[in-house]
Copies of this chain bind each other. A is one copy, B any other.
Amino acid sequence: MTAPDRGFTNDEFASRLAKAQAAMARHDVAALLLTNEAEIRYFTGFMTQFWQSPTRPWFVILPATGKPVAVIPSIGAALMRHCYIDDLVCWPSPAADDDGISLLASRLRHSLSNGGKLAMLRGRETALRMPLGDYTELITRLGSVELYDMTTDIQQIRMVKSPAEIAKIRHICGLASNVFSTVPSWVQAGIPLDEMFRQFKIRALQSGVDDVSYLVGAAGAGGYDDIIAPPTSRPVMPGDIFMFDTGCVWDGYFCDFDRNFAVHHATDAACEAHQKLHDATLAARAILRPGITASDLFTAMHKSLHPNGSPHSDGEDVGRYGHGLGIQLTEPPSHTSWDQTKIENGMVLTLEPSIGYGDGCIMVAEENVLVTLDGSELLTQAAPRDLPIIAPNPS
């Protein structure tokens, strides 16, 4: 597979910033303070696994006009200098008492000096990646500034992917699809689940993914009951159903999909569950186009899975039937009964119906799709309708 270009053009960052600043202007926001990896990367291009270290806080301010301002630990200066920023303020972190808060307050005061609100992301699916005590101190120092929550605006901007973002997600979906296609050739009864995970990761890296940042799954006789656990060392056995769910990454963008397999044979209930999930995915794709809502996708899948109704109003324990995808493994919207987000051209979504069956088993199927002007494009190589069965090794 030919890989797309890495990174983004300055035009792309300018376009992202313009959308954010237009939203800021609508809400009279003079400065938007970002503390999280995803948004800081989205607006500046600052990409590093150093976020794994929780020690240091990182701050980026989007001002009302002009490029982003970075207020960051010195250790990140060399990398941030090449990013889409106008102004770089650094301090040696960790610091004894004041870990960037005075610098940040001073820079924010500058942005807020002509009035206007201070915005942050305070809503659904966000976190505050700085010490809560430092946040309280910052707000106290800023005095009477009016706070504003721009979660919805920023999520709305990020949900619609650019052609360059789509190219990266398409690439990683293709790479991971290739890895999944090899599974029947190397999984046999008797292989411990954790060894299967290790093999999957190695093959994914060999196929060209940058990182296997997320790999969960499970195996069990007739089915599994947990979809987020790390693997055990139990060998898979004839009659097991096993599932891998992976978020592989290429140039900072995720795929997120899974595949189910049976070892040697499967119960009718498991085969039927797999078909139902496949049909639910088709039901979603049948209506998927700009103008519908995430809730419409949920309803289409839920009706397909439970034509006679279901006691679960929101898709079993998973809570939803899919979500957005991009810099993060999971992004808005959520395919639930209540999410009225309008689907737009350029969104990348997972379709992820799940169903309970048998004695406490659950099965999840997941595909990744791009919303196009008149429908959708599957970014993953579709799972078959029939549960794939790994045949015994001829010996």
Where the two chains meet, the residues of A that have a C-beta atom closer than 8 Å to any C-beta of B are 6, 38, 47-50, 52-56, 73-79, 90, 92-96, 99, 120-133, 135-136, 149, 151, 194, 198, 201-202, 205-206, 210-216, 225-230, 233, 247, 312, 314-315, 317-320, 323, 328-330, 334, 336-338
Contacts and interface: CB of A to CB of B under 8 A. Distances in A.
Given A48-B229, A50-B228, A78-B225, A205 B216 contact: no
A54 B125 contact: yes
Given A75-B228, A92-B312, 19 more contacts: A6-B233, A48-B216, A50-B214, A54-B126, A54-B330, A55-B334, A74-B319, A75-B317, A76-B228, A79-B226, A94-B124, A94-B319, A94-B336, A96-B336, A99-B124, A121-B132, A122-B133, A127-B127, A210-B230
A73 B319 contact: yes
Nearest to A315: B92
A228 B56 CA distance: 13
Contacts of A336: 94, 96
A328 B210 CA distance: 21
26 contacts: A38-B54, A50-B216, A52-B213, A52-B214, A52-B329, A54-B127, A75-B227, A75-B228, A75-B318, A75-B319, A92-B312, A92-B319, A93-B319, A94-B124, A95-B314, A120-B132, A123-B133, A126-B132, A127-B129, A128-B132, A131-B151, A132-B135, A133-B149, A198-B205, A202-B202, A202-B205
Nearest to A97: B338
B120 A131 contact: no
Given A131-B122, A319-B92, A320-B94, A228 B48 contact: yes
Contacts of A319: 56, 73-75, 92-95
B49 A214 contact: yes
A96 B338 contact: yes
Contacts of A149: 133
Contacts of A131: 122-127, 151
A154 to B, nearest CB: 13
Nearest to A90: B317
A302 B227 CA distance: 49
Given A129-B127, A205-B201, A49 B215 contact: yes
A326 B229 CA distance: 20
Nearest to A199: B205
A365 B377 CA distance: 48
Contacts of A55: 125, 323, 330, 334
Nearest to A249: B52
Which of A99, A132, A216 counts the most B-chain CB atoms under 10 A from its CB? A132
Contacts of A228: 48-50, 75-76, 79
A357 B271 CA distance: 64
Nearest to A360: B78
A-B complex: 7 closest residue pairs judged by Cβ atoms = A96-B338, A78-B226, A74-B317, A50-B228, A122-B133, A122-B132, A53-B330
A204 to B, nearest CB: 10
A290 B101 CA distance: 33
Nearest to A319: B92
Nearest to A49: B214
B314 A92 contact: yes
A92 to B, nearest CB: 4
A280 to B, nearest CB: 18
Nearest to A224: B78
Contacts of A136: 122
Nearest to A330: B53
Contact of A334 (B6, B94, B123, B329): B94
